[in-house]
Amino acid sequence: MLSVRGLGVRYGRSVSALEGVDLEVATDSVVAVLGGNGAGKSTLLRAVSGTLGLHGGAITSGEIRFRDERIDRLDPAVVVRRGVVAVPEGRQVFARMTVEENLRAGGLGARSAADRTAARARVSELFPVLAERSGQRAGLLSGGEQQMLAIGRALMSGPSLLLLDEPSLGLAPQMIGRIARIVTEIHSQGTAVVLVEQNATMALQVADHAAVLEVGRIALAGPAEELAASNDVQRLYLGGHAESDEQAAAEVAQARSHRSARRLARWAG
């Protein structure tokens, strides 16, 4: 679905943020991108979503293809219409607008009124709390609820590929577990996901494949289970999140169980 080849990115004239980055995202997959602060994770998502120029960055080499079409030269709004939607770091909701107004804004990228209606039903199923608080200003929601709204708003355009930038940042362990379950549910409904995270344990529990960025380069890449067992990954990125990791594992296991039950029901039907 997504192919990033030899991607190089600079900010200004001298700051190299990415160099020679390769990344593949299959149609039915969750790919985690791990790394510390300044590794280039957010820059990678900005390049894919077409918003890099808004942050003063520019692609200097390589290409990005989505469903075999080059998208690295397209306007961000066109990238959204192609089916690639990003949720930026920091729960960036429209604080003075209501929950419903935020969701309607996300639905502007939908292909048709029928698609918007289907997306609204999907968001209500994933996030019942948003339906309960549809008339409330987004800025008055809790941090976890704002993250749900940011994800729900992105889903309103019906993306084929969802880019999530640090969705667990600053959240309590219980909420991190819920976000992990939500990512698994979104994937099970047919949306591929690129998950940028510093909470490596949660990300590796959710993902099928993973890549580790270090100073703008891919240092490791492979199946998530293999990276989770890697001594280097364990030493540098795993540990220190015991409570949130346990909660995330429980939520992901529950979501996968529900996904398997749905598949069995379809086969039986």
Asked if the structure places residue 144 within a domain, the reply is: no
- Pick the closest to residue 6 from 72, 48, 61, 45 (CA basis): 61
| Structural domain boundaries, residue 28 | 2-83+160-268
What is the secondary structure of 112-163 as a DSSP string?
Answer: SHHHHHHHHHHHHHH-HHHHHTTTSBGGGS-HHHHHHHHHHHHHTT--SEEE
In a domain, 13, yes or no: yes
95 inside domain? no
Q: Domains in the chain: how many in total?
A: 1
pLDDT tens for 202-231 read 899 999 999 999 999 999 999 999 999 888
Asked if 210 and 227 touch (Cβ cutoff 8 Å), the reply is yes
Q: pLDDT for 53-89, tens place per residue?
A: 999 999 999 999 999 999 999 999 999 999 999 999 9
In a domain, 134, yes or no: no
Report pLDDT digits (tens) over 107-158. Answer: 988 888 899 999 999 999 999 999 999 999 999 999 999 999 999 999 999 9
Is residue 64, in this structure, part of any structural domain at all? yes
In-domain check, residue 254: yes
Kindly report the CATH number assigned to the domain that includes residue 50: 3.40.50.300
Average pLDDT score, the chain: 88
Per-residue pLDDT tens over the stretch 29-55: 999 999 988 899 999 999 999 999 999
Give a yes or no: residue 147 inside a domain. Answer: no
Within a domain: residue 128? no
